[in-house]
Amino acid sequence: MCGDEYEESVLLVLRLLKFLHQQNSAHAKAICDLYANADIDGLYEAIDEVMLSIFPGAFYEFDDEWESSIAVLSHPDITRFCHLSRKWTQRQGYYSSAWQGKLQDIAGYFACGVFKMNISFTGDQAVLRLWLSSDYYDPLSFGNSMVDMLLYIRQENQWLEERLGDAFYARQQNREEAA
């Protein structure tokens, strides 16, 4: 790997690390320390650790039927989106699962290198199960597409918070992030 491909890979890894640093600086520092002298192959190894740190409780499993790895992901921003969306539909005077479809559309739009997707909902919790394509999966592209998805969901959360006047929760989250 040389030239532009190398530079692009390094920049994408740095983007993932920056996102992790904003979310959990201690984890980002630990990964940087561990891979401080890594070559590009070492950076690819670091991506899995970064993804597991960005998505708390995430894990990978293997599907024998499809002969594919499955990324099982959840995130507090996704949970917040589910909570706010449910609250929004109830405030409108009806209960609808359209927000669940919206989350599926968002995940489907951003999921890169995935050939099958399933989202399970339990109350305000959503768990994404993403079957990774053996032909098209690239850890850097996948990781960055998941970061793009989280950034988009954060914008949706901000819009919903403004409409719902849910300032208390926003202040509480800011205090927790500052601590």
Q: In this predicted model, what pLDDT tens digit does every residue of 79-104 receive, in sequence order?
A: 999 999 998 888 877 777 888 999 99
Name the DSSP letter for residue 65: T
What would the two tokens of residue 91 be?
């405030």
- Could you report the per-residue pLDDT of 132-176, keeping only the tens digit for each? 988 888 888 999 999 999 999 999 999 999 888 865 556 666 666
pLDDT tens-digit series, residues 114-133: 999 999 999 889 999 999 98
pTM for the full model? 0.84
DSSP string, 83-128: HHHHHHHHHTTS--SHHHHHHHHHHHHH--SEEEEEEEEETTEEEE
For residue 55, CA distances in Å to 35, 135, 156 come to 20, 24, 18
pLDDT at 135: 85
* Neighbour count for residue 146 (Cβ, 10 Å): 26
In the chain, what are the domains? Answer: 1-54 (no CATH), 57-178 (3.30.1360)
Could you report the per-residue pLDDT of 42-70, keeping only the tens digit for each?
877 888 889 989 998 899 999 888 888 99
Q: Write down the pLDDT at residue 169.
A: 59
**Sole residue written with tokens 């600086």:** 25
Predicted confidence at residue 147, as pLDDT, reads: 95
Does the pLDDT value for residue 26 go beyond 90? yes
Q: Is the dihedral of CA 73, 75, 81, 86 positive or negative?
A: positive
Report pLDDT for 168: 54
- pLDDT for residue 150: 97
Q: What is the pLDDT of residue 174?
A: 67
For residue 126, give both structure tokens. 């959503």
